[in-house]
Amino acid sequence: MTLSSQSADLDWTDNGQPLSRLFDDVYFSRESGLEETRHVFLQHNQLTERWAKLPADAHFTIGETGFGTGLNFLCAWQLWQQTAPATAHLHFVSCEKYPLTAADLARALHLWPELNPLSHQLIEQYQVISPGWQHFSFAQGRVTLTLLIGDVLDTLPQLDVGHGIDAWFLDGFAPAKNPDMWQPALYQQLARLAAPGCSLATFTSVGEVRRGLQAVGFAMRKTRGFGRKRDMLCGELVERPATHWQAPWFSRPPQQACGQARSVIVIGAGLAGCSTAYALSLRGWHVTLIDRHNTLAAEASGNPQGILYCKLSAHATSLSRFVLSAYSFSLRLLHQQLPQGDASWQSCGVLQLPSNPKEQQRQSALASLGLPADLLQAVDADAASSLAGIPIEHAGLWFPAAGWVNPPALCQHLAMQPNITLKLHTEAIGLQQTAPGWQVLDQANNCLAAATDAVLCTAADTRQFTQTRHLPLKAIRGQITHLPATSQSLGLRTVLCADGYISPARNGEHHLGASFRFDRLDSQPSPEENLSNLDLLDGLATSLSSFWPQARSHSSGLKARASLRCTSPDYLPLIGPVADAEQLLSCYAELGKDASKQPTTPAPWLKGLWVNCAHGSRGLISAPLSGELIAAYLSGEPAPLPNDLLAALHPNRFLLRDLVRGKRQPPAKPTQPS
């Protein structure tokens, strides 16, 4: 697995149609790509008729095997607007090994002016298309697109589709041009992911394709093709394929039927909680958002300037792959929902500068991958100085789309949805499971709120609840220092990051940080941490210290803010359903003796209880996509991340690791009286 990917290499016809050089094939019919899509995929999946009959809050999922120019997606979205209920949700999951660049996508979509209202929205969000899975939200959350960047035979096996694919668009270059795709392994995945009654349509009528689809359970038939093509194929899944073993401790808990919106309590109104509440509200959930403070984002999410800091490894680690997908989604959300300005955020770019030889090697390895230029660029010291507006002594990595965000402004925006009820100055002390769902309790065991589901976005305090006290969460204190802007410091135009960071001025102040302390867990600012933050300046740029020559001697008088981050042992967040820890250890005790066992006992879920926490110092990047993941779990939608990352983020991962390694033992069974 790699972080690198290759964009489509195109030629263009005289009338503006794109052609693939690699496959020597067209992306759509030379006669009319628009009408071809409508004939092959919309008509022969009976989408007009099916969508007109959907219940009000239904979810419908389309799967596609070649995104290409996005034409099929846009045509489906257009028809959805015209025929589906106003409160229904469309999910479009598409694979693409060679994504078009943003410029090529815009050029191709220029061919169809009637799609402009939708294509302009796609083009606007089609930025920083990095390797991995890319998630998009349109039409106030009514339409989602998940692009799986990579080979279809690698990506589809990693897809957790929730309630299943309702209609397949089997598209791509012709079987004769791209035989590597049209394989039995592909057809097996189409059947595995299909919902009951799933339909399928494809432009080709090749006998080998028809027989391959029939072999996995699709009833296929030939019908009239589009334009000069005599035949095409369409059909339905009539026989479910055999299922393969999946780790039950990472499987989705049983949920109600897709589209049955319910009530949910979200505890914690920082970035994780507000992102979760926002994502659920877009799906029609009635959300109660609870926080013990009088304002949103009062703890670790309350800094005046948070940094969109995208630190990556060149080795495609779980953390790097998650960060890549989450970073792109956060940028889309910010551009879509929050106007830029001193009060909210600025896409001013981030310069990552090496602080030691090891860091320099990491940056060089990343630069050699050929990642998209709108994601990162290697820059020398002169270019870095020009970008920063002040002298920079080192080469580094430039992230042009990144910048700083005022987290409270983002939280405020996310929480201001019509079906989110705020309960501030309300401290949740305990949880109690009831027949309908969950109650949140105060110190006196009074019920503060009740709902079918509850999501804990409470950072390290998640361990205060009986149901989640087993989670290995750690609090780390961090302090930022406020530096008043000077005539010299106002020249700084971008965020600088090395061992620490400094931001451009916002409302007359720069913010410098941040400390990492394990020995103090209070939020009282300390002068010594101001001094340690000031020590970070020279590692960013030697000129910075001269902008504040009196700062060290007046460190006790500098404004500062301290708060507690929350992290996990592997530095990945915990996102997903909660199980009964002792019962889980008992259910899978055999793994402690033989890790190769494949138990099938369903996990002992605490039905309706979820966590979204441990975002460390990456909350601005990770929280928005994490909210989407929680919403996908609760609503039965396709997951916005691959299965291996879902497992890497799953709250059960630590229990299973400890069980397999012999660090946790199942609880002893009570002895029977003689």
Q: What CATH number did the domain enclosing 178 receive?
A: 3.40.50.150
**4 found inside a domain:** no
Residues of the chain with pLDDT under 70: 1, 256-261, 670-674
Which residues are CB-neighbours of 456 under 8 A, at least 6 positions away? 267, 268, 462, 465, 468, 578, 609, 610, 611, 612, 613
Report the distance separating Cα 174 and Cα 206, nearest Å.
Answer: 10
Side-chain-side CA neighbours of 51 within 13 Å: the count stands at 25
568 CB neighbour count, 10 Å cutoff:
20
**Claim to verify: residue 445 and residue 434 sit in the same structural domain:** yes
Strands (E), 292-394: 306-307, 345-346, 350-352, 377-379
Tell me whether residue 319 is in a domain: no
Q: Considering 525, 540, 567, which residue would you say is the last residue of a domain? A: 567
Strands (E), 525-604: 560-567, 574-579
Q: Model confidence over 401-446: pLDDT tens digits?
A: 999 999 999 999 999 999 999 999 999 999 999 999 999 999 999 9
| Cα–Cα dist 42/254, whole Å | 31
How high is the pLDDT of residue 673? 58
**Residue 573 maps to a domain:** yes
The predicted structure's pLDDT at residue 32: 81
Same domain? For 188 and 60 the reply is: yes
Same domain, 85 and 137: yes
Residue-level pLDDT at 517? 93
Pair 390, 424 in one domain: no
Which residues are CB-contacts of 352 (< 8 A; sequence separation ≥ 6)?
Answer: 311, 363, 396, 397, 398, 399, 497, 498
- Given this model, what pLDDT does residue 30 score? 78
Q: Could you tell me the two tokens for 571?
A: 């530095």
The verdict on residue 339 lying in a domain is no
Residues 433 and 479 in one domain: no
Say what the pLDDT of residue 670 is. 62
Query: Could you tell me the residue range of the domain that residue 105 belongs to?
Result: 37-237
How high is the pLDDT of residue 5?
74
Q: Hey, what amino acid is at 659? A: L
Query: Looking at residue 666, what is its pLDDT?
Result: 84
For residue 257, the model assigns a pLDDT of 54
**pTM of the model as a whole:** 0.96
Cβ-contact 515, 424 below 8 angstroms: no
- Tell me, what's the pLDDT at 672? 59
Which tokens belong to 424? Answer: 């501030």
- Do 161 and 194 fall into the same domain? yes
Structural domain contains residue 28: no
Name every residue whose Cβ is closer than 8 Å to that of residue 404 and which is 6 or more positions away in sequence. Answer: 305, 306, 307, 308, 345, 346, 348, 495, 503, 504, 506
Alpha carbons 474 and 521: distance in angstroms, whole number: 11
Q: What is the pLDDT of residues 340-391, one digit of tens each?
A: 998 899 999 999 999 999 999 999 999 999 999 999 999 999 999 999 999 9
For residue 277, being part of any structural domain is answered with yes
Same domain? 60 vs 203: yes
Q: How many domains does the chain have?
A: 3
Percentage helix, strand, coil for the chain under 3-state DSSP, each rounded to 5: 35, 25, 45
Residues found in the chain: 674
Q: Are strands 165-170 and 59-64 parallel, antiparallel or unpaired?
A: parallel
Same domain membership, residue 215 and residue 104: yes
- The enclosing domain of 556 has a CATH number of 3.30.9.10
Tell me: do 458 and 488 sit in the same domain: no
Residue 55 located in a structural domain? yes
Among candidate residues 237, 253, 281, the one where a domain is terminated: 237
Domain final residue, candidates 544, 567, 590: 567
- Please, are residues 159 and 107 in contact by the beta-carbon 8 Å criterion? no
pLDDT given for residue 261 in this prediction: 56
Residues 461 and 487 in one domain: no
Instruction: Say yes or no: 207 and 157 in one domain.
Output: yes
503, 576: one domain: no
DSSP state of 341: B
* Integer Rg of the chain from CA: 26
Instruction: Please check whether residue 50 is in contact with residue 81, taking contact to mean a CB–CB distance below 8 angstroms.
Output: no
Say if CB 269 and CB 422 are below 8 A apart: yes
Any domain includes 344: no
